[in-house]
Chain A
Amino acid sequence: MSRHLAWFFFAVVLLAVSAPLQALNYEVGGCKTGSSYVNFTTISAAVVGVPAGATIQICPGVYPEQVTITQPLTLKGIGFNNANRAVITINPNGSLAPNVTSSINGLPFYAQVLVQNINPAGPVSIIGITVDGSGDNAGCSAETLAGIFYASGTSGTVNEVTARNQVNGGCGWGIWVENGAASSQTITIANSSVHNAGFDGGGIAASSVSPPTLSATVSGNCLSNAGFFGIDDSSTGVIAGNVLTSVAGPGIFAESDSLTVSANTVADISGIGIETKGANTVQSNKLSNVGDSIALFPDVAATIKSNTIKNTFCGIDFSGGSSSGTISGNTLNDSLYGFANWLGPNIMGNSLYNINNVQSASASCP
């Protein structure tokens, strides 16, 4: 056998071995073609037509549909030619009936992208997709609108997503994740752009039963004009590195007892910047041009440290309580009230500049 013939047979064997291992690619929208691609015309068809664990590439375009995901997979928006946005919109000819009921508050939701009843168990990741809620005007009496909804028992990651215009007469949320089950779940919401949510809703909700069974990481997101709440979190986990502007407030509402709220930038909020209901840690955040920068529920033993607060009506608001937590290393500059509604002893170890009333037992904070 010649040396060339030997190489030929080796190549044939190699191909025969490798061909069955070659993964198929899954695509929606028609921008990727060829024998290695399985094409779908809708995202809804793709999410039930691919094997568990697959990645579905979504071509730029508009997809007027309601998507329900029930198996572990990745949805990923891709670029093609000069476009790089895949938008899931409300189907003008479709039903606007609720498709899920929250296990936390019992309210009916219309979820544009619904993740629920995942079988087999595994994470669902959504990357680089836009979800636009324009067109759902059913109103608060009918439903709450959510761009993306991870139902109880699900896990995964939402990364570099845009959620916008979830207004619905006021009751709209950009991203809602929850866990009402006893078993723990982990969800990450990162690097996403959330804006123009309903004025009675908010930008991002991470909701859990108490004690929390949801571990949520909410990091690196930007939220603007995101309704009443910017981020409403009753999970255990981290809220870090987000930028929140022009939210009614609270910008960040930390409802549980085991959250770390750190390194966020909160600005241009007439109401509360960061509010903690439990013994959470609020540290190294930057707040400016905020009505009530950091507010604690009465007598909550929260740790409030190393925050920078400027141009505010109330710096740290204790709501008539006397927290036994740590209040230290904060820098306040340019505030009408420094430590407002504080009934405890003097607070030491903070840096104060340009404060009209350093400590007040009764202040009317926004």
Chain B
Amino acid sequence: MIAAPPNGLAINVTSITGANVAAQVLVQNVAPPGNVNLTGITVDGSRAEVSGCSVSAFLAGIFYASGASGTINEMTTRNQQLPSCGYGIWIENGAGPNQSITVENNSVHDVTWEGIFAISNQTPSTLAATIKGNFVNGKVYNQTKDIEVNGVSGALTGNVVTGGLQGIINDGGLVTISGNTVADISIGVAIAFGDGSTVTSNKISNVYTAFLLGGSGVSPGPTATGNTTKNTTYVVMYNCIPNVTVKSNTFNDSEFGFDHVPTANSGLGVNSIYNIDTVQTSTCP
């Protein structure tokens, strides 16, 4: 187990976001070029001290810096719990060659801000991320996001995500979100930006909002098919954004079905719905 040193963690990397990060395991400037694989190690952030945390610095259990590639498999990252600045796994790639990173089968829990975070600031994206089979639990510290991708391409599949505020978030990029189980959370799957992304065959239960689907409004926007939701307050929030396709899903047990559906090009197809108090709510201009 890799634990935090008793005299605190120093800032050792600056993210492409500009954030200063104290990483417990840092992968960067790999020479000669090649993959770095991490398997079967626990990274524990208990009693970590990072000066400026939540103001000018962040704590990360594992950090793959720009230019790094490889696989993070069967790791445990836990207790990155400094107030509002703890990340379990952070991977990124900025300018330069495309990189590919796989984050799979990990146990990520008790972090204060994000469980798994993947980001690229390039268009088109230079980071292909595969995030699969992970178990992320944000219940204890109510972290903001369990899994967030921003500007990356790739797939998020077969993860089990429970607790916290937001489950799986795509803030930009073309990704596939499929076969995940998301429960006990405020927002299940959100696509803030990510035209063309697909959300398929996920199971969402006991959440406030199952899907928050947006995009730029162009066609094709995000597409949600074959998903099942149960015990939600809202099934899909559209925010009046057109060209969001929602079809062939099964929704059971919700107070509201579809919220703020756009009046034109809604993309709302045929779904199987059961036990929905109000099918559509809140109109758009």
Contact = CB atoms under 8 A, between A and B. Distances in A.
Contact of A334 (B107, B163, B272): B107
Contacts, number: 148
A286 interface: yes
B135 A222 contact: no
Contacts of A130: 253, 275
Chain A CB within 10 Å — which of B42, B228, B252 has the most? Answer: B252
A32 interface: no
Interface of B: 1, 39-42, 74-76, 78, 105-107, 109, 133, 135, 137, 139, 160, 162-163, 181, 183-184, 203, 205-206, 228, 230-231, 250, 252-253, 257, 272-280
Nearest to A312: B107
Interface in A229-245: 243, 245
A245 B206 contact: yes
Given A224-B231, A289-B139, A333-B107, A192 B252 contact: yes
A334 B230 CA distance: 29
Interface of A: 77, 79, 82-85, 127-130, 160-162, 164, 191-193, 195, 220, 222, 224-225, 243, 245-246, 265, 267-268, 286, 288-289, 308, 310-311, 331, 333-334, 351, 353-354
Could you tell me the dominant secondary structure of chain B's interface residues?
strand
Given A333-B40, A354-B40, 15 more contacts: A85-B276, A127-B274, A162-B253, A191-B250, A192-B252, A193-B205, A193-B230, A193-B252, A222-B206, A286-B135, A286-B181, A289-B135, A310-B135, A333-B76, A353-B39
A308 B160 CA distance: 11
A255 to B, nearest CB: 25
B231 A83 contact: no
A128 B206 contact: no
A64 B160 CA distance: 38
A129 B275 CA distance: 6
B19 to A, nearest CB: 27
A160 B250 CA distance: 9
Contacts of A128: 252, 274-275
Contacts of B252: 128, 160, 162, 191-193
